[in-house]
Amino acid sequence: MVTVTININGENRTASVPAETTLLRALRDNFNLPGSKLGCDVGDCGACTVIVDGKPINSCLMLAAQAEGRTVLTIEGLASSNGVHPLQRAFEDCASLQCGFCGPGVIMSAKALIDEVPDPSIPQIRDALGGNLCRCTGYVKMIEAIRIAARAMRGETAEVNR
């Protein structure tokens, strides 16, 4: 067993886990954060995407022990006392998802992109979603939502600016 302390969604959390435990399993099973989804478990689908130290990663490919002392943002950390995050609102307004299974990973990839590129082009958005597989939609409504959310986050609409 290894003891890990990770800053998750702004809070230091500690757990003892078997050494082979992935960050995804620890988030879901030890920290009670099931928003990040377990899809392929081998790095192919992006359903498990979280942001570690500002970068989107597949949490099924990182050991929990490798996240020791690092900062992790999951889908549960996006909403605030002001309500849902502009990305979440835009995805809902645009009806961007169907089954929704890929949604948390897609939104976290989009968040990481907008944090780095506040006004992303469509090719940049497509590129950022390259590791997120969605078998229900054609991505078109996701891209529309990401552009709307980016505008809101730049303060160009009345939406909450985060």
> Distance between CA atoms of 150 and 156, rounded to whole angstroms?
9
Residue 146 touches ligand FES, criterion: CB under 6 A: no
> Distance between CA atoms of 157 and 33, rounded to whole angstroms?
31
Q: Please, what is the minimum distance in Å from the beta carbon of residue 115 to ligand FES?
A: 21
> Distance between CA atoms of 3 and 16, rounded to whole angstroms?
4
Residue 104 touches ligand FES, criterion: CB under 6 A: no
Residue 87 touches ligand FES, criterion: CB under 6 A: no
Residue 134 touches ligand FES, criterion: CB under 6 A: yes
Residues forming a β-bridge with 17: 2
Q: Please, what is the minimum distance in Å from the beta carbon of residue 71 to ligand FES?
A: 19
Q: Within positions 28 to 67, which residues make up the interface with ligand FES, using CB under 6 A?
A: 38-41, 43-48, 58, 60
CB of 110 within 8 A of CB of 46? no
Question: Which positions touch ligand FES (CB under 6 A)?
Answer: 38-41, 43-48, 58, 60, 97-102, 134-137
